[in-house]
């Protein structure tokens, strides 16, 4: 059963606007969350992470928000650029039970000029 869900398979945003990618999880024991970005024919690359002790983490144009009560996190990209067009994977882990990492199915973001 999918424990990390990205319910939007795709998203299209105009250049300069905000992109918001959403992720929901079902396992309340997850305490570390990551976002990865993947271009075609390449491996995923780490983008940003957040621990459950925080509700926000920011890195340049990228901000991740965590709502533990709703078991929801989101990735905001502001402003969006055409080079941001990629597949974005949300991932979660339960750090006390080992090192397994659970990924969502990914959201394909297209930023149009």
Partner 1 sequence: EAQVTQNPRYLITVTGKKLTVTCSQNMNHEYMSWYRQDPGLGLRQIYYSMNVEVTDKGDVPEGYKVSRKEKRNFPLILESPSPNQTSLYFCASSFKGLADTQYFGPGTRLTVL
Residues of this chain that bind partner 1 (CB under 8 A): 6, 32, 34, 36, 41-46, 49, 89, 91, 93, 95, 98-106
Closest to partner 1 by CB, 15 or 31: 31
> Residue 107 burial by CB count (10 A; 0-12/13-18/19+): exposed, middle or buried?
buried
Q: Report the SS3 class of residue 59.
A: strand
**Minimum distance from CB of 17 to partner 1 (Å)?**
26
Find out whether the peptide bond into 79 is cis, omega within 30 degrees of 0.
Answer: yes
**Minimum distance from CB of 92 to partner 1 (Å)?**
9
């Amino acid at each position: 059963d999918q424990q990390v869900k990205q319910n939007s398979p795709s998203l299209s945003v105009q250049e300069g606007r905000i992109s918001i990618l959403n992720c929901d999880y079902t396992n309340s024991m997850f305490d570390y969350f990551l976002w990865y970005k993947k271009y075609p024919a390449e491996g995923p690359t780490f983008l940003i992470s957040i621990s459950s002790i925080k509700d926000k983490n920011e890195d340049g144009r990228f901000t991740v928000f965590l709502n533990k009560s709703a078991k929801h996190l989101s990735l905001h990209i502001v402003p969006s650029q055409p080079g941001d067009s990629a597949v974005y994977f949300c991932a979660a882990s339960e750090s006390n039970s080992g090192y397994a990492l659970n990924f969502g199915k990914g959201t394909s973001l297209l930023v149009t000029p």
